Amino acid sequence: MIYFIIRRLIMTVFLLLLVSMITFAIFFLVPRLAGQTAYQLAAQYVGRNPIPSEIKAVEIKLGLNAPLYLQYGRYIKGIVAGIHYNNGTDVSYCPFPCFGYSFRNDQPVWPQLISDAPVTLSIALGAAVLWLIGGVSIGVLSALRRGSIFDRLSMGIALAGVSLPVFFTGLIALELFSYKWPIFPNVHYVGITTNPLLWARNLVLPWITLAFLYAALYARLTRAGMLETMGEDYIRTARAKGLPERTVVVKHGLRAALTPIVTIFGLDLGLLLGGAILTETTYSMPGLGQFTILAIQNQDLPEIMGVVMIASFFIVIANMVVDILYAVVDPRVRF
């Protein structure tokens, strides 16, 4: 088991390196291949109507004229040790871990990511707890009462949940529960350390909105998984032992049906942590998703690159956690 984890960790490091290479290539190699010169690239980092000497200075400051492998080296060095951007007159320092430096805002990207991450984290984790509990229990009940009114009703709602986009359900929820019946008035993000109660209260609507979408998916997945496992021979064995039906369902059936759910859960959560763009936008919460949208609107390349890197890291790490969890759940994977 320990070796399994170590192997996974080593692989993850390689994967992260690969991800960084690909990200770097998208932002620096692809434009070159498309025929852009270092000068033209540098032009994207200066304001409007720049004079050529300014652009040249930026080119040198960012090292855009250096060979690509050196640029990549500088980039990695920035991440692990921090970096100085220097054009002779003006020095910008980007401390460890430097996931890019926004020249537009004249500040490193990392602290901004760090300050926005808790918002996304709050939304995603809270919703994840809700949808996991809700989706899985609805799925189990549906599977056990296949064909019943409960099953049909919940699967119908689940279909709606999967089909309706967050910006629709979110707005409806806002209209109903924030304006018409102000149960959750004035929804905005409050830090958990500032006021935990208000934090939770303001997050209820985003949580429910996001969880509704995912719970629907998970209910359907769980239902399908349970229907399959409850037909397995080992379920019959469990019954033949004289186990109470509850134990048969939860300990023997659900345990096996959960394996694929764990996989998808890890990936979904990893993806969400990179920014719950629609939910954040609908409820005007300044998380990583909002950050991404702003960065794209401003064409702030270092910021976009930073957020892409972080989002990919989340997914890679989620993958690793899933792999390890998988081994914990299913002993056959461990060897």
- Figure out which of the listed residues 34, 149, 197, 240 binds other proteins, where binding follows CB under 8 A: 240
Q: Is 111 exposed, middle or buried (0-12, 13-18, 19+ CB in 10 A)?
A: exposed
Segment lying near other proteins (by CB under 8 A), choices 45-53, 61-69, 149-157, 249-257: 249-257
244 binds other proteins (CB under 8 A): yes
User: Rounded distance, CA 195 to CA 188, Å?
Assistant: 12
- Figure out which of the listed residues 166, 252, 301, 304 binds other proteins, where binding follows CB under 8 A: 252
Beta-carbon count within 10 A of 195 CB? 12
CB of 255 to other proteins, least distance (A): 6
The verdict on whether omega for the bond into residue 118 sits within 30 degrees of 0, i.e. cis, is no
54 binds other proteins (CB under 8 A): no
145 binds other proteins (CB under 8 A): no
Segment lying near other proteins (by CB under 8 A), choices 18-26, 64-72, 147-155, 242-250: 242-250
Q: Is 131 exposed, middle or buried (0-12, 13-18, 19+ CB in 10 A)?
A: buried
CB of 327 to other proteins, least distance (A): 11
User: Rounded distance, CA 142 to CA 150, Å?
Assistant: 7
Please tell me the count of residues contacting other proteins according to CB under 8 A.
Answer: 20
3-state class of 186 per DSSP? coil
- Figure out which of the listed residues 147, 193, 233, 297 binds other proteins, where binding follows CB under 8 A: 233
Half-sphere exposure for 218 (CA within 13 Å, toward CB): 29
242 binds other proteins (CB under 8 A): yes
35 binds other proteins (CB under 8 A): no
Q: Do you know the residue count of the chain? A: 335
Residues in touch with other proteins (CB under 8 A): 232-234, 236-245, 252, 255-256, 329-332
